[in-house]
Amino acid sequence: MSSEIAELFDKITAEPGLGKPLDHEGSANYAVQKTLIKVATDHFVRFGYRRANIAEIALGAGIGKGTIYLHFENKRELFLSCLLAEERELLPQLGIIENFPEEERLRAFLEVTFNFALTAPLTRALLSRRQDFAALIEEIDATILKNQDEKFTEYVINKLISPVTHNLDTDDKKTIANVVNLATLAIGYLPEMAFDLPGQEIPVDDFVKILARIIDQGIKNT
């Protein structure tokens, strides 16, 4: 049975301009697309968006350059499809959280999304090395991103925040949801060295759990 977050993800990403999902696993194109996504993701992480070269990606995938354009319209669609594939890997964990007791969902959600922002290679590169992806960001339709954010914020409010904040109005809950989203983005900006400063070393997992607990308790006490 599909989770609510998976259904929302499919609905949001069905809109034009946000990349395209892989063909069905049993299809003739699936294996080629899966290899392309893996090779292209590694390439984008290494070189950024502007310096990424379609011909080199094709070479790494063992196909001709023209074959890429049979599956993806251009470099932008290929990049966004890589990002889409990476984000999709998060859905099973988020789907499990939907079945947690209401008072446990928010903290679990924070832990999963914070950890994702720090460890998912392409998402991490996009957040922490904005200058390498500036050309891409300028190409994306801001209206599409706004609609995506609004739908996701509504999910966070209804599924995670409302059950544990009974005394807040809609505007306050929306503000909290925006803070949660911004916190996730901000964490992605943290350089790797931030966790290894002399005298301040902290494992990423511990950092994520402690921060999630602090935010979770703060929201519940609001």
Q: Residue 16's CB: how many other CB atoms inside 10 A?
A: 9
Q: Residue 14: pLDDT band by 50, 70, 90 thresholds?
A: confident
Longest dimension (CA), the chain: 59
Q: Are 39 and 4 in contact (CB under 8 A)?
A: no
Which tokens is 195 given? 């966790």
**Count of residues in the chain:** 222
Say if pTM beats, i.e. exceeds, 0.85.
yes
Residue type, 38: K
Residue 149 pLDDT: 85
> Bigger pLDDT: 93 or 186?
93
Copy the structure tokens of residue 90.
């998060």
pLDDT at residue number 197: 66
For the residues 123-131, what does the mean pLDDT come to?
88
Q: Mind listing the pLDDT tens digit for each residue in 147-189? A: 788 899 999 999 999 999 988 999 999 999 999 999 988 888 8
| DSSP per residue, 109-166 | HHHHHHHHHHH-HHHHHHHH-GGGGHHHHHHS-HHHHHHHHHHHHHHHIIIIIGGG-T
- The residue ranking higher by pLDDT, 198 or 181, is 181
Amino acid at 126: L
Relative orientation angle of helices 30-47 and 75-88, to the nearest 10 degrees: 100
**Tell me, what's the pLDDT at 202?**
81
Which domains, and CATH codes, for the chain? 19-86 (1.10.10.60), 89-220 (1.10.357)
Residues 6+ apart with CB under 8 A from 98: 3, 4, 5, 105, 159
- Radius of gyration over alpha carbons of the chain, in Å? 19
| CA separation for the pair 107, 217 (Å, rounded) | 9
